[in-house]
Amino acid sequence: MVVAIIGIIVAIVVPVAMGARRSAARMREASGARGLMVAWTSYATDERGFVLPGYRSGLEARDENGAPIPPEAYGGDAEVRRRWPWRLAPWLGDDLRRLYHGENAATLDRLQAGDRQRFYYFASLYPSMGLNSTWVGGDEARFPVDEALPNGAPNPFFGMSVLRLSAARRPDRTMAFVSARTAATEDGTINEGNFRVDGPWMATSTPQWATDYSPSDPASFGSVSARFNGEALFATIDGAVDFALPEALRDMRRWCDRAPAAEWWLTQ
């Protein structure tokens, strides 16, 4: 009878304890996302209203000691500087641990303990929250955001990305960051973090996202991670933080501030 009672107690306590741990991890990452948005907004305030560019050439970035990213960094300093994490670091108190949460914190610890030149590169790849860089801040790997194209012709996509805080029409709806994951790792394992996330549509009527969310295939849903009991964490331009099922994010009005409909792409 004693064994049976212990078994019953364990059956009750273990799920409750696991649920409490999941809830605590959820709240910690939500708190981290709020802190990230404070830093992101502070960046814009200090940069005359311009928001953090997501992926762009020719920008400066410094390490946690205030030194420029060295040219001999793995992948080259130019590539490291294109991504946003090191450029936002000064507004995070030069502490990249504020970008790495949950199980992903171990990723940063491993990188910091390894080769310094590789640390610069890989630390810029795997923050827990990915930036909606195509539509907020701009992403030159996706499409040009400048008023004119390199050949001097007008850019037909100019104004589609939010480049200044004051230009956001729906700051309470347009997402800046979303919990991310990627399988683009050296060994192909899934990492609970990625520097960018992509929306369901881009330039054609064929969706970028698969029909169903797959935890084992991050690319199928634009690197969005629903690691919070089936929900993704997101932060909107106005600084609010919330959770949603992945399917609820299959709405381009959450991604592009100018999108007129849930199913929308650039060539419409």
Domain ranges of the chain: 23-255
Query: What is the structure's pLDDT at 192?
Result: 96
Query: What is the structure's pLDDT at 223?
Result: 98
**Measured between alpha carbons, how far is 53 from 57 in angstroms, rounded to an integer?**
10
Name the 3-class secondary structure at 188: coil
Cα Rg of the chain, angstroms = 20
Q: Give the tens place of pLDDT for each residue, 141-200.
A: 999 888 888 888 898 888 999 999 999 999 999 999 999 999 999 888 999 999 999 999
Q: Specify the pTM.
A: 0.90
Burial of 17 (0-12, 13-18, 19+ CB in 10 A): exposed
Query: What is the structure's pLDDT at 149?
Result: 84
Identify the CA nearest to 166 among candidates 87, 59, 257, 71. Answer: 257
Average pLDDT, the chain: 92
Give the full edge-to-edge strand order of the sheet including 129-131.
129-131, 175-179, 232-236, 241-244
